[in-house]
A and B are shown apart, each in its own frame.
Chain A
Amino acid sequence: MQPFTQLTGLVAALDRVNVDTDQIIPKQFLKTIKRTGLREGLFFDWRKQKDGSPDPAFFLNQARYQGATILLTRDNFGCGSSREHAPWALLDQGFRSVIASSFADIFYNNCFQNGILPVVLQAGEIQVLMREVLATPGYQLTVDLGQQTVTSPSGATYRFTIDPFRKDCLYRGLDSIGLTLQHESAIADYEARRRAEAPWLFTDLRV
């Protein structure tokens, strides 16, 4: 996994609440057996007008947002389906950080598995940033994971909290399965103990 330390980049604003993963990547793109190439499916239904042509009003179709690496949005981003195709598609589009006032749990978790930093700021702070981004073409932010800050062009700094373990894994780009496997003996001990307590959980279910 690619580490995330500090990122300064163009910000794209999606001014909506409750953006669900069905919108981020519709079902027809879930038939793939790969993690890559999902960019064409990102916000697929929202990108188009009724006649199938690109909707010039949709944020990702606007020239000013081309090359954006930071997505700014609102409450409950990534709700609904657990599909990890959502962060895969965002990553494929070039987004390395999503800033919102809240995230759905599974999506939030999936970001960390893919080198994407989800940042939670207060609703009032999002409101300020949203206004600034919408008013300012070329607007950039600096997201610093080490310092746990988001800094705007005016120098305003917003602090965010993050779980220390997740921060460390993302900062160093660690293989989380490899980390868990370092505790192999603890897992084996647990299984031996549990097998004695609840043997019915250890029958082989292969039929």
Chain B
Amino acid sequence: MSGKTLFDKIWDSHVVRAEPDGTTLLYIDRQLVHEVTSPQAFEGLKLAGRRPRRPGATLAVPDHNVPTTDRRLGIADRISAIQIQTLEDNCREFGITLFNMSDVRQGIVHVIGPEQGFTLPGTTIVCGDSHTSTHGAFGALAFGIGTSEVEHVLATQCLVQKRPKTMEIRVDGVLSDRCSAKDVILAIIGKIGTAGGTGYVIEYTGSVIRGLSMEGRMTLCNMSIEGGARAGMVAPDEKTIAYIKGRPLAPTGASFDQATTAWQQLKTDDDAKYDATVVLKAEEIAPQVSWGTSPGMVSGVDDRVPDPKKMADEKIRQATERALEYMGLIANTPITDIHIDRVFIGSCTNSRIEDLRLAASFAKGKHVAKTVRAMVVPGSGLVKQQAEEEGIDRVFTAAGFEWREPGCSMCLAMNADVLQPGERCASTSNRNFEGRQGAGGRTHLVSPAMAVAAAVEGHFVDIRHWK
């Protein structure tokens, strides 16, 4: 018998029962809940007269709708306010812990899970949010679900699943200076395509992945869904254990030691087989910039906007033509000639303290171009607090960036942070779909370092050579 992958080990330890056809009742250790995808789930519970099976296994936080301006002013949008109030009411009624808008621990659901020690290796974690894949950075099986399944997990602590396939994505070599986890994941999506991971759980391996910090691994796993994979994971190691230790919801004392022993077993056996393997060389990864309306439409910054005329496949050519028209780009334009109007540094992909430290190190002593409006939105209240203790907020504000309150903000523009039609934005977020950051808005996905350089110069620059 061949060995087990990391995924196999986690899956096998969560099987409540399995039917002969492979339909599996999978135990879910933990659920994160936010205001947008939960109201109908709680309503369903109420209509059926059901209660959460383990309210103590769930953590709730509003993030999508929250304003990133002064919280004392409340929420101007009445419908957003109702949705956030509904989350508070539901959590009170069902006994679920909530970090409300005035709590310093409030933030983006995928930032606060790891920050609080809620996210642990070897666990199954779900949330009504596709970027739940983020938590796979800890060697957890974490994936996004719909609202009906949010209700299912609340009521039963289980989900009905079929075993997905496994894909290894190995990145070996040495990343060039100033390239980051964001460039790695964008390059991966560029290679496998936005549906390349459909039906798979990805395990990221190789020297580059091992070399990433925990926060870099979160950035990486976060965008697994943009490659079509519901989950992406990295085997836990000493960095993982060190990151978790001492966090508020993490095990302590003897319990932590016992957990650590178990976590150290969570790696793919040498003789295990993946269903597919994809290999990338780090040396071939340039700083990435998306040019289209799907995350797979991405190039190195030293490249040009692609030319649909050179594309053989008719469907791809049409999709590219449409994307370039929406994006207002001309084929063969050097990426570095693309000028921007806005910069957004934030989102569950790139709003953690390391992202902000790195971005600030590039912003220091520089100033945002006159033609650009740039904002920084920390991922949580605690990230914001930490950044302010380190003086990072002052670096940004001195450089002309807006420093805001935590939340999802302009990643999906459900709150007041919205692109105007035609505005072009360098964004550290995860999706460049049409209208994602505002109807008619044009999004280019980049790393935090690339976003800062674009803010300062007013157009994209190759961060490797930027002074």
* Residues in chain A within 8 A of chain B (CB atoms): 16-18, 20, 22-23, 26-28, 30-35, 45, 50, 74-76, 79-84, 87, 102, 104-106, 109-110, 113-114, 163-165, 176-177, 179-181, 183, 186-187, 190-191, 194, 197-201, 203-207
Contact = CB atoms under 8 A, between A and B. Distances in A.
Given A104-B228, A106-B145, A177-B151, A187 B434 contact: no
A18 B16 contact: no
Interface string B7-40: 0000001001101010101010110000011011
Contacts, number: 198
B349 interface: no
A191 B16 CA distance: 9
A121 to B, nearest CB: 15
B37 A83 contact: yes
A183 B95 CA distance: 24
A177 B230 CA distance: 22
A18 B194 CA distance: 8
B17 A205 contact: no
B130 A82 contact: yes
B158 A33 contact: no
Contacts of A106: 130, 144-146, 225, 230
A109 B439 contact: no
A16 B315 CA distance: 8
Contacts of B123: 201
B21 A165 contact: yes
B155 A177 contact: yes
B156 A199 contact: no
Contacts of A200: 120, 251, 255-256, 258-259
Given A181-B155, A198-B122, A203-B251, 19 more contacts: A17-B315, A18-B194, A18-B195, A18-B319, A22-B433, A31-B36, A31-B77, A33-B39, A35-B147, A45-B439, A79-B194, A82-B37, A82-B146, A84-B40, A106-B130, A110-B146, A187-B158, A190-B27, A207-B248
A8 B338 CA distance: 49
Contacts of B122: 198
Q: Which 6 A-B pairs have the closest CB atoms?
A: A204-B56, A113-B148, A33-B39, A84-B146, A200-B251, A110-B146
Nearest to B96: A206
A18 to B, nearest CB: 5
Contact of A205 (B83, B97, B128): B97
A75 B318 CA distance: 13
B83 A31 contact: yes
Contacts of B30: 205
Given A23-B433, A200-B259, A177 B50 contact: yes
A22 B198 contact: no
A100 B329 CA distance: 30
A30 B415 CA distance: 11
18 contacts: A17-B315, A20-B433, A22-B433, A23-B435, A31-B36, A31-B80, A32-B79, A34-B39, A82-B129, A82-B145, A104-B198, A105-B228, A114-B148, A177-B155, A191-B157, A197-B13, A200-B256, A205-B56
Contacts of B65: 31
Contacts of B312: none
